[in-house]
Structure 1
Amino acid sequence: MATALLLGAATVPAQAQLGSTTPVRIGVVGPFTGPSADFGVPMLNGIKLAVDEINAVGGYLGRPLELVVKDDTADPDQGRKVAQELLHEKVVAAIGFCNTGVALKAMDLFQDGKTPLIVPCATGTAITAKYPAPESYIFRVTGRDALQAPFMVEEIVKRGWDKVAVFADTTGYGEGGYNDVVAALAAKNLKPVHVSRFALGVKDLSAELAAARSDGANVIYSYTVGQENAVIANGKKALGWKVPQVGPWTLSFPFFLDGAKDAAEGALMVQTFIAEPSNERRASFLSGYTRKYQRKVAVPMAAANAYDATYLLMYSFLGIRDGNLSGKAIKESLEGHMKTYYGVVTTYEKPFSAQDKDAITRNMLVIGMVKNGAITFAYPEDAKRNLIIHRKQ
């Protein structure tokens, strides 16, 4: 579907200053170098691809979108510093954060500054729960951990794995994910038979894995963001322990796929988007990304979520009747004044409201599986179901 048609479907402000060519400045913050760059860079690339398409058809009423990009290096203190810089540079809104701990450290700056922030990657449940929804300027276009954990626990129960070992890092992401997993297990009258917590950067978890095996675990639920997922998989292989590994979307990252190689085969993870061209919009996105960056997308979910977040922000601009892109006006437009956006991940029909700042609902999630070093659908019926666009429930 052509970008011009997509934007043409949106409401054009009645009183906007059509003569202005001043760029509309949008902040972008994420880990573009450092330990989380493997999904921070695809996020940035998805945003840039969307902005290029929008600017090619005139931007916002003749005003080009201009990105102000800041690298948080996955460090909470650096994230707060660059968030302050963005706000000083007078961006009208921002898209960003891949790491939950970084987001939680910096979010208050956007909230206090009444500058809308759309989070396309960080999944920590607390991100959209920190502020009362009607007052919150924090929006999200990815499945929060409180959705992902119960979805995967249902998969675990369905497969008959009733002795769960939880391996979670000690970051804000790991802590929040651990709590969501334990709560989801409790809802099924289960509790972990073994728990291991570890710092980022750990190189050897063989002792912890041996303990989990001794405790009778028949599945490992790993909740960490980087190469530690591969440490777990390789450690299992070294022990000759063929227990399955499951987790959130981080099991689709290159750190895991490349770091674990054959030890990653069969791992299951929660996904909002799997890189298969099941409709025209997805095919256009995947081919456009490959053409622009001369490579396939490394973390498709990060790129697709960010791409859609960028278009949702643009649609919010077009929903403001007088063309005044104030933070309050953008917030209110995101909450219900936009036309439907036919996106890559899903169709966004009223994705947000004053009471709900999460665009992704459970019906949009699927179980992905590592097969031959790539992510595909765990179930053929999900691949067929992916042909149908699922609206928010």
Structure 2
Amino acid sequence: MGASFEQRPQPWVTNISIDDIHSRDFLAISKIHGRWGGFETLEKWVCGAYAGYTAVCLRDSEGKLWVGESRHDNEQGAGATEVQYSNGDNAIFVLFLSLRGEDVIAVLPWDEWWEFELNKDDSNPHIALLPLHPDMRAKFNETAAWKYAQSMNGKPYGYHNMLFSWIGTINANYPPLLDAHVVASVMTVCNQMQPAYAANMWNEALNKRLGTEVPSYSICNCLAWDLPDLIVKTEMRGSSFAELLTIPEQDDWVYSDGRSASCVAFVLEIYKAARLFDPISRSIQVTEFTIKDAYSLRFFENNSSRLPKWCNDGDDVEFLFCQIRGRYRMELPGYNTMDPYPHMNEMCPSLPPKYSRPSNCLKAFPMM
């Protein structure tokens, strides 16, 4: 990938003023150590992203700053957290978090989130604040954003669609030594050893792609197909497992535990609900976006004079985003360069080492 890991001048933690952080601003995070550091390294390798996690800033009606994220470790949760947002019609949205011992979607007070990242996160997180462009901030529908956050807060992390945002082609997304056959083999082993895990990670999603899911309202005593059946039935329909993996995820799909959103899908679903993808939002499936796809969107600030004064303070390299934590300088190749287009990222290659892609990857897949 060519990441340089250049050391930044100290201090490695920015003395920020939260008054300069706007609701809607994007947080790009790269974790280096531990469980998530290992996972994110794999994620970066397969899709070419220079960050492995995302979150979003939101302000409530009283101006208090919050952070929304999907993959919050709630193992040490201390009960329910409530957030109230009131729009002009005095509608009250109550966001709550009450799950324990799992990765969930959460909306947390900025102070709580920042304290954890500074003093308790053992993954050595590197964090960049990506301010939205003023035109995007003006377009942002705050009420709709909070309403979507309310509907998702406390739900499980989006394992159902985490894998599929990376695969958009039959053979142009797999790094060397990987292909759809290897993916099928790994899935088959996991299906035998951890069937519940496999069902959560891909079986439900594959049944949706094949049109073989059992609706929640069904009165029949029947089951969706397991992985071996899915592979056989796909071949019987004249297709292949490799092609099945490329069918785009749909944002409105509902799984057994509700709608599913990975970290980047959650942030972009908020942007989509807030009308940032209008007028083409109906032809955008943000669950098809990788983290690289997200920070490449032309949504962000392009004028350094509008960045906060503390942004990259003391650094001799000028960026159009603000790194607020981390020893090494964060790089985001392709940052803020792509305008949205219909069916964006549904069929894009991502082969290392350059992860090159056409400027407009277009193809709409029919359901099988």
* TM-score for the superposition, normalised by structure 2: 0.27
Structure with higher RCO (Cα < 8 A, 6+ apart) = 2
